[in-house]
């Protein structure tokens, strides 16, 4: 009999130290590859959340007044510690999310791009200065941090998304509270240790573990000035509406139903290889995963489906500890059952099951939360799965007869996170990129996620609020601009009262 895993008692990280939970409520943290509970995470009470916010509020003024170059220096040390501890971080990501080691390393590497951009905060914080705008008055604008800000991160990227949400916020002078997903808290807690080692003052970085109780306090507490959220669309809408109601700056990114349009002139072998990774990587638990392939023309569709079937049938589903694993489990048994129900429903509504991930031995016999790669053909707009985001490896084929039809179907969807087209026709690519109403667009790029120094966000139901994740917009989101007009009078200079509105004629 296999030896059971010791269950670890986790903490919060508040004011520079690990703090035990006091609410008496705990959540289970599972290893998705085995189904075993590996840790208990405390779920904060309102009182605990308020204590964390108060500690951050107290620490903020000194950090705000710290020279930006000094702040950037600490971020640089933090970046170096991330790379020095890469193996440990990868192990944590794999253990609590089920990702393969290769995928975890890729996630961490992309997360480092956000840290790299934050190191450049001194440049991004530069203001503007105008001399003698009128009456010997000089005018300048300068960016100031907001104060206490909060990030609410998802389970599917235990480190990339938190780094993207928080690195710039720290660098520009805010005190940051991270409410990590209660399904993957261990990575966030380890990151706290690295911030501490890098020299970040106590109270500037907080990990508050919890559920809706903690989230609602962050949304409603007047000491929290901004909220960054990544997760599902219904929750993103709630976060935005509740945070905005309480006067906060909010960026809430939701889900995606991402399409890959395939023109008849595309190299279908290349398309198939691109689709496989973009569709099934990380067990399809990415907001930018390709959900739907849209081949233009029946001949294109028949050919690509035949190529995909052979490749999908050869994929290996298993634990990150096994050699040659292409992707691992979904995050929970509830997620597994939800994916299976979506496949069952699509089949009842007339979809053709080309590859059936429900039938694999590992799906039936493992305690892990596995579901194999599934491909459904002849999906139509009337089927539930056409619009609904399935956060697991059930992917669709929607056959279209023209590029215009593909653009129309995509633009009619509520979710508009990412989209891509595969073609060698420049005219088709230009038409597609011009007319498509989606936030991130790829041309012969399977997952059009911008690099860390470009802004990331979708349109419509995929984003609520005007901020972005990644990119220079982070510096704007986490700062407020103050504009100063100044004139220095000499002792002998005569002044008189005027009732006219100030202008440059004065």
CA dihedral over 41, 47, 50, 52, signed as positive or negative:
negative
CA 54 to CA 159: how far, in whole Å? 25
Q: Using an 8 Å Cβ cutoff, are 117 and 471 in contact? A: yes
CA 324 to CA 503: how far, in whole Å? 71
* Of 125, 395, 69, 397, residue with least CA distance to 261: 397
Which uninterrupted H or E stretch holds 420?
strand 418-422
CA 272 to CA 25: how far, in whole Å? 47
CA dihedral over 356, 362, 365, 368, signed as positive or negative:
negative
User: Is 287 noted as a catalytic residue in this protein?
Assistant: yes
Catalytic residue (choose from 117, 287, 304, 416): 287
Cβ contacts of 13-16, under 8 Å, gap ≥ 24? 13/189, 13/192, 13/205, 13/206, 13/207, 14/51, 14/52, 14/55, 14/206, 14/207, 14/208, 15/55, 15/59, 15/202, 15/203, 15/206, 16/196, 16/201, 16/202, 16/203
Q: Using an 8 Å Cβ cutoff, are 47 and 226 in contact? A: no
List Cα–Cα distances, 500 to 52, 132, 133, 486, 497, in angstroms.
50, 19, 17, 19, 9
Secondary structure letter of residue 220 according to DSSP: H
* Of 455, 451, 453, 449, residue with least CA distance to 469: 455
**Helix and strand counts by DSSP (H, E) for the chain:** 17, 23
CA dihedral over 247, 249, 254, 256, signed as positive or negative:
positive
Report residue 363 as tokens.
Answer: 């799906």
* Angle, CA 190 vertex, CA 189 and CA 191 arms, to 5°: 90
Q: So which residues are the catalytic ones?
A: 287
């Amino acid at each position: 009999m296999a030896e059971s895993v010791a269950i670890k008692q986790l903490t919060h990280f508040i004011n520079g130290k690990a703090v035990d939970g006091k609410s008496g409520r705990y959540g289970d943290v599972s290893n998705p590859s085995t189904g075993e509970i590996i840790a208990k995470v405390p779920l904060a009470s309102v009182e605990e959340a308020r204590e964390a916010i108060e500690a951050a509020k107290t620490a903020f003024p000194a950090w705000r007044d710290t020279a930006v170059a000094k702040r950037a220096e600490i971020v640089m040390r933090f970046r170096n510690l991330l790379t020095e501890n890469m193996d440990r971080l990868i192990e944590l990501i794999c253990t609590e999310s089920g990702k393969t080691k290769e995928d975890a390393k890729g996630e961490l590497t992309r997360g480092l791009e956000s840290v790299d951009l934050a190191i450049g905060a001194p440049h991004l914080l530069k203001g503007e200065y105008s001399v003698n705008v009128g009456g010997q008055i000089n005018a300048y604008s300068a960016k100031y941090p907001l104060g206490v800000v909060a990030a609410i991160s998802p389970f599917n990227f235990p480190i990339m998304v938190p780094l993207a949400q928080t690195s710039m916020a720290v660098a520009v002078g805010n005190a940051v509270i991270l409410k990590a997903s209660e399904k993957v808290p261990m990575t966030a807690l380890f990151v706290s240790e690295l911030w501490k080692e890098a020299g970040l003052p106590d109270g500037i970085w907080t990990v508050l573990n919890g559920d809706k109780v903690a989230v609602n306090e962050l949304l409603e507490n007047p000491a929290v000035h901004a909220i960054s959220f990544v997760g599902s669309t219904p929750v993103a809408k709630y976060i935005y509406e509740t945070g905005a109601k309480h006067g906060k700056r909010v960026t809430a990114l939701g889900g995606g139903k991402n399409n890959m349009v395939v023109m008849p002139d595309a190299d279908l072998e290349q398309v198939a290889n691109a689709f496989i990774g973009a569709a099934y990587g990380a067990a399809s638990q990415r907001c930018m995963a390709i959900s739907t392939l849209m081949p233009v023309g029946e001949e294109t569709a028949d050919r690509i489906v035949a190529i995909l079937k052979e490749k999908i049938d050869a994929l290996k589903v298993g634990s990150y500890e096994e050699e040659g694993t292409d992707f691992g489990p979904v995050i929970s048994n509830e997620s597994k059952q939800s994916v299976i129900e979506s496949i069952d429903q699509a089949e009842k509504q007339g979809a053709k099951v080309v590859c059936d991930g429900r039938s694999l031995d590992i799906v039936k016999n493992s305690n892990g939360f596995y579901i194999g790669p599934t491909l459904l053909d002849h999906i139509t707009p009337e089927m539930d799965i056409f619009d609904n985001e399935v956060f697991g490896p059930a992917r669709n084929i929607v056959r279209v007869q023209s590029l215009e039809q593909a653009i129309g179907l995509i633009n009619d969807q509520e979710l508009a996170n990412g989209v891509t087209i595969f073609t060698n026709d420049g005219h088709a690519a230009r038409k597609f990129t011009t007319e498509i109403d989606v936030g991130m667009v790829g041309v012969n790029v399977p997952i059009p996620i911008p690099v860390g120094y470009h802004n990331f966000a979708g349109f419509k139901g995929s984003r609520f609020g005007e901020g972005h994740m990644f990119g220079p917009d982070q510096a704007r989101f986490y700062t407020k601009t103050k504009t100063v007009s100044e004139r220095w009078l000499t002792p002998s200079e005569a002044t008189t009262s005027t009732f006219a509105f100030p202008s440059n004629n004065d």
